[in-house]
Structure 1
Amino acid sequence: MEISTELLKSKCHVNTNEEGDRFVGIKADSENAMVYFPMGYQLPDTEHERRRDILHLISVLSEFTVRNDRVLHMKKFEAPQSVDFPVNAYMEVINYYLEQRSYYTEKEPIYKTSDRGNTDWAKTIRQQKPLLQANNSPIYLKQTVRDSTPNDRNLITQIHKYCVYESFQKLGWLFTPNLPPKPDFPIDIKRFLIELNDKLGKTNNDKDKRLFTSMIAMLKYIDEETNKRQFYFGTDSFEYVWEKLIDRVFGVSNKNSYFPKATWHLKKGKTRTFEALRPDTIMVCNNKIYVLDAKYYRYGLTGEPMHLPEGRSIHKQITYGEYISINNKFKDENGNNPTVYNAFLMPYNSRENIFDLSGIFENCGESTGEWKGHDNTFEHVQGILVDINYLMHHYTGNHSKKIIALADSIERALTENGGNLPIEAEISVSVGSDY
């Protein structure tokens, strides 16, 4: 499969999250390859940046999906197809080859006669004629020294050549339109695996260990795959990735204590406690608590009210907020109940959208429940649009500025939409606009 890097743009697609257009990841076969980005993603302008973003998409999917997430929904009456393509193994093999600019080779020791080098004294004494000094002690003007040369015929080198060719067939188009030479030796996967496992058990070099482990993963995949012309890496359920990204950046680690539970206290028999309602993310900032629900909904793309969180989700958020606000364990040292805020976080494109918005975090409105009053902050659930490019490229490192900026966005929205609620001193912290 040869793909010109000039055509990389034509191989990228931003999905709509409509039926039949929900897959995020890579699909490829021997003739074609496509990269599918999540809805709202802004593709960069240059080939270099597109290549960078494709590699970053692979990293995000590798970190935030597990095998059960990578299930493709097939056509009606066809069973779902599980995808367990070892993309990181393929990338490791490619990167090793590009860094070394050659195949892996083992070096067999050879010996030569020289007056410098790493002397093998046992061979020198046997093979070289010494000169005797005045005190009859020998001196060797020439010595037998150890040298090395690559052994290109070694089996481990052949295995690497095969793995390099296979990896470039599937993913090498991200780096170059040219394929390395096709191996001209018999392919014996089971023999290759035995050799690699043996080498892995004997090596102490971390770089070699990563390479051997990656080649083992590749060969197992090749040995087990049923469709040799096509492979997938990605998910039809990017909403789970969105939830994990939000929780990674904004959430506290001990959110279980914020979950409201329900219990039956029976007159006869054992008490029965039900599983807790589980908000996606709990954020804490300046002693205030924010209940966040990550919604991978299409509203940020379409502006269509039908694509907003439904009533059931709104009621849950208000219940979460009320539970936290009245629970004694969340009171401060003065016995005051915490201030609790509520928000839905939905993806959008800050560079191209129908709202004329450009911020990393932007408010699109608020939702309330008719069954509750509107006097508490948590009873106003804010709709916050989050730039998906920014979140996908900034989920590592220190998140304190992002947390403060999101808190600021939610509180400002409450002022604008609620109007009659008291708001504490405003916070103004920039998170930057770089991608």
Structure 2
Amino acid sequence: MDLDARLLDRCHINKNDEGDRFVGIKADSENAMVYFPVGYQLPETDQEIRRDILHLISVLAEFTDKSDRVLAMKKFEAPQSVDFPINAYMEVINYYLEQNSYYTEKEPVFKTSDRGSIDWAKTIRKQRPLIQSDGSPVYTEYTVRVSSPNDKNLITQIHKYCVYESFQKLGWLFTPDLPPKPTIEKNTKMFLSVLNDKLARTNNDKNKHLFTAMIAVLKYIDEQTNLKQFYFGTDSFEYVWEKLIDRVYGIKDKYKFFPRTRWYLKGKVKENYALEPDSIMLHNGKIYVLDAKYYRYGITGNPMHLPESSSINKQITYGEYIYTQERFKREYGDDVPVYNAFLMPYNSAKNVFGFDSIYGNIGEAKGDWKVGDHNYERVQGIVVDIRYLMYHYTGNHKSKILRLADTIEQALHDNGQMI
């Protein structure tokens, strides 16, 4: 792998079209590439790009699971499920960089046993003896020293092996230099036995995290011996987009806003699955039905890349359901304030609309079967800066909710003037 290549040369912004949907990292022995979602604005310096790559990894780790990380292979071939333990690799690398050295045991390790090198001070303090008839104690188990210089050296050698493996795959994120190649021969079964034993006997949380990560790295190496490439990411970033939108703007108990249907049959009732909006946002006594659309319109400006009738009609149905329910009238008043919006990704630093803010309105969608007397019948098209959202999905979201609510309501007013 060319470790000297500039980070920018390793980055690609996907187009979210056929054959260019993957978001994440792909690498092999020759090259490594990072794929960002459509609309993402990369910074200019290697330091900032490195931070963005690491942040992309954290977003994918949080919002995807093994079932999401499926890569479409060649046509007619089965999808390939990828469970690369990227967090384990990062843990091994971060430990090495933070310590500026390999793991070494600084304290002797002890365990309870009926044989071995007895530490009498610890045995008397920790073990319970049997008291003989003459009053003298007899110990059936002792606290014994189990680590020796060779043991200490072994765990360090295993760590060297894991560090080298981790830097081969992901070290280019941090430095163009590889650490020294380990001298110990690969022996996965023995390595795992030693690490599992260490893990069972340590009370140090930092060491627990390291040993757990090393075990994951070794298991992955052992299972993936025939694969030259590794992947971490998803072909379905639309699910990440939906989760990001819901995390920032949505309420947790949105289920009570779901329109439900059922069959009334002769003698019984059959419940159907409810229609589920992506997110329900509440602000200042108003209800906002949000549909996260990971579509290309925010980047291309091509009307062919906008939500179509089925999505529009579904949004109007959500709004109408909420508006007509008596329980919401009791809570919000007879004229329940319901707003509708599609949220699509875009790049606020470079776009075809001339926008330069986090949010922008590109128009609204309506249905001919509605006369437009209610706000929810006019679905606002809102673009959201994708890089901003990926960096601001934690913490307090009140200010973001306020800005989005204002954008939707202002768009409703402005678009009403044009129609």
- Contact 2:158 2:184 survives alignment (8 Å): no
Matched AA of 2:386 = I
* Equivalent in the alignment of 2:135: none
* Equivalent in the alignment of 2:243: 244
Q: Deviations over 1:374-408 (max 9, x none)?
A: 00000000000000010001000000000010000
- Contact 1:14 1:38 survives alignment (8 Å): yes
Q: Deviations over 1:200-230 (max 9, x none)?
A: 1111100000001111111111111153421
* Equivalent in the alignment of 2:163: 164
Aligned-partner Cα distance in 1 for 2:290–2:59: 21
TM-score of the pair, normalised by structure 2: 0.88
Q: How does 1:273-312 map to 2 (within 5 A)?
A: 273-312=271-310
Q: Does 1:34 align with 2:33?
A: yes
- Contact 1:2 1:178 survives alignment (8 Å): no
* Equivalent in the alignment of 1:414: 412
SS at match of 1:343: strand
- Contact 1:301 1:353 survives alignment (8 Å): yes
- 1:181 deviates by 1.1
1:319–1:167 Cα change, 3 Å:
same
Aligned-partner Cα distance in 1 for 2:342–2:171: 39
Q: Deviations over 1:15-58 (max 9, x none)?
A: 10111111000000111000000010001011100000000000
* Equivalent in the alignment of 1:76: 75
1:334–1:381 Cα change, 3 Å:
closer
* Equivalent in the alignment of 1:103: 102
SS at match of 2:353: coil
- Contact 2:43 2:49 survives alignment (8 Å): yes
- Contact 1:27 1:231 survives alignment (8 Å): yes
Aligned-partner Cα distance in 1 for 2:315–2:270: 24
SS at match of 1:154: helix
- Contact 1:13 1:36 survives alignment (8 Å): yes
- Contact 1:106 1:150 survives alignment (8 Å): no
SS at match of 1:271: strand
Q: How does 1:222-261 map to 2 (within 5 A)?
A: 222-261=221-260
* Equivalent in the alignment of 2:180: 181
Aligned-partner Cα distance in 2 for 1:166–1:121: 41
1:383–1:305 Cα change, 3 Å:
same
- Contact 2:25 2:32 survives alignment (8 Å): yes
Q: How does 1:339-378 map to 2 (within 5 A)?
A: 339-378=337-376
- 1:273 deviates by 1.5
- 1:328 deviates by 1.5
- 1:153 deviates by 5.5
* Equivalent in the alignment of 1:139: none
Unaligned runs of 5+ in 1: 111-119, 123-147, 422-435
- 1:255 deviates by 0.4
How many residue pairs get aligned? The number is 385
- 1:367 deviates by 0.2
Aligned-partner Cα distance in 1 for 2:161–2:391: 34
Q: Deviations over 1:79-127 (max 9, x none)?
A: 11111000000000000000011110113559xxxxxxxxx998xxxxx
Q: Does 1:191 align with 2:190?
A: yes
1:107–1:150 Cα change, 3 Å:
farther
1:248–1:218 Cα change, 3 Å:
same
- Contact 2:242 2:278 survives alignment (8 Å): yes
Matched AA of 1:3 = L
Q: How does 1:11-90 map to 2 (within 5 A)?
A: 11-90=10-89
- Contact 1:382 1:414 survives alignment (8 Å): yes
- Contact 2:339 2:376 survives alignment (8 Å): yes
- Contact 1:2 1:179 survives alignment (8 Å): no
- 1:154 deviates by 2.3
- 1:362 deviates by 0.3
Unaligned runs of 5+ in 2: 110-118, 122-146
- Contact 2:158 2:191 survives alignment (8 Å): yes
1:371–1:214 Cα change, 3 Å:
same
Aligned-partner Cα distance in 1 for 2:172–2:212: 23
* Equivalent in the alignment of 2:204: 205
1:185–1:420 Cα change, 3 Å:
closer
Aligned-partner Cα distance in 2 for 1:333–1:74: 51
Q: Deviations over 1:347-367 (max 9, x none)?
A: 000001111111101000000
Matched AA of 1:315 = N
Matched AA of 1:361 = Y
Matched AA of 1:324 = I
Aligned-partner Cα distance in 2 for 1:420–1:173: 52
* Equivalent in the alignment of 1:264: 263
* Equivalent in the alignment of 2:392: 394
- 1:77 deviates by 2.2
- Contact 1:105 1:152 survives alignment (8 Å): no
Aligned-partner Cα distance in 2 for 1:334–1:286: 11
* Equivalent in the alignment of 1:140: none
Deviates more, 1:176-185 or 1:222-231: 222-231
* Equivalent in the alignment of 1:424: none
Aligned-partner Cα distance in 1 for 2:108–2:304: 72
Q: Deviations over 1:227-258 (max 9, x none)?
A: 34210000001000000000000000000000
* Equivalent in the alignment of 2:128: none
Aligned-partner Cα distance in 2 for 1:403–1:365: 20
1:255–1:66 Cα change, 3 Å:
same
* Equivalent in the alignment of 1:94: 93
- Contact 2:161 2:184 survives alignment (8 Å): no
SS at match of 1:169: helix
Matched AA of 1:396 = T
Aligned-partner Cα distance in 2 for 1:317–1:206: 48
CA RMSD of aligned residues (A): 2.0
Deviates more, 1:184-193 or 1:57-66: 184-193
